[in-house]
Amino acid sequence: MTIGAVVLAAGAGQRFGGGKLTALWRGQPLIVWAAQTALASCEGPVVTVLGTFAPEVAAVLPSDVRLSTLIAEDHALGMAHSLKAGLSALPEGLDGVFVFLGDMPRVPASLAAVLIAALAGGALAAAPVCDGQRGHPVLIAAGLLPQLLALTGDRGAGALLSGLGDDLALIETGDRGVLFDVDTRADLVDSGAA
C-alpha cells in the first residue's frame, strides 16, 4: 500500500505559553519527534502543516526529500482547516494517510505496520487504543478523504471516525505514547514510563 502522512503543527500552543513545537523534549524540538515518526511510519510523502510560529517550526524540521511544509492560511479557524490543507497537498493515488499531531513525541513508529495491515484488510481507518482511549496516529483510507475535506471548525477527524463502527480498526497497545501529548511546560518533564 502507498501511504502518506500529515503532521499537524499549526497551533499557537496557548496553554503552553507559545513556542511549544520548538521547545526541547529529550534534547530535540518537540516537532522533530513527530516528523521523524511520520517519516518512519510510511514510504510516501509527509506534509507538515504550519501556522503560528511557522518560520521557527520550519527551521528545526529534519531535512528529508519526502518531507515538505505548507502554511495553512486559515489555521486559526481550527484543526479541521489545517488537516484539509495538509490532505490537499498530498498527491493523488495514495491508499491511505496517517494523521500525526506535532505535540505527541512518544508515538511508536512500530505501530505503523499493524495499522497499515488493518487498512489492507479492508478497514476504512485504523487507530491505536490504550487503556480504553483512542490514540494517535490515525490511518485513514483514501476513500474517506472527500469526507475529511468537508470538515470545518476545531475538530479533527474524531467525529467521522466515531461514526465508522466496525469499519474503524482499533488496535490495542500498552504503549501510552499513543496518548501522551504536551500541553503545558510541565509536560516536558514526562518520565517516559510506558
The string of pLDDT tens digits covering residues 52-91 is 899 999 999 999 999 999 999 877 777 788 899 999 999 9
Confidence (pTM): 0.93
Looking at residue 150, its pLDDT comes to: 83
Domain 3-186: which CATH number of 3.40.50.12780, 3.30.413.10, 3.90.550.10, 3.30.420.40: 3.90.550.10
What does the pLDDT look like over 103-122, one tens digit per residue? 999 999 999 999 999 999 99
Per the prediction, the chain carries an average pLDDT of 91
Looking at residue 73, its pLDDT comes to: 86
Contacts of 22 (CB under 8 A, 6+ apart): 29, 30, 31, 53, 56, 57, 60
Query: Strands, E, within 21-124: which ranges?
Result: 24-25, 28-29, 46-50, 67-71, 96-101
What does the pLDDT look like over 11-51, one tens digit per residue? 877 788 888 999 999 999 999 999 999 999 999 999 999 99
Please state the domain extents for the chain.
3-186
Provide the β-strand partners of residue 3.
96
Query: In this structure, what are the phi and psi dihedrals at residue 177, rounded to the nearest 5 degrees?
Result: -60, -20
The rounded distance, in Å, linking the Cα atoms of 189 and 24 is: 10
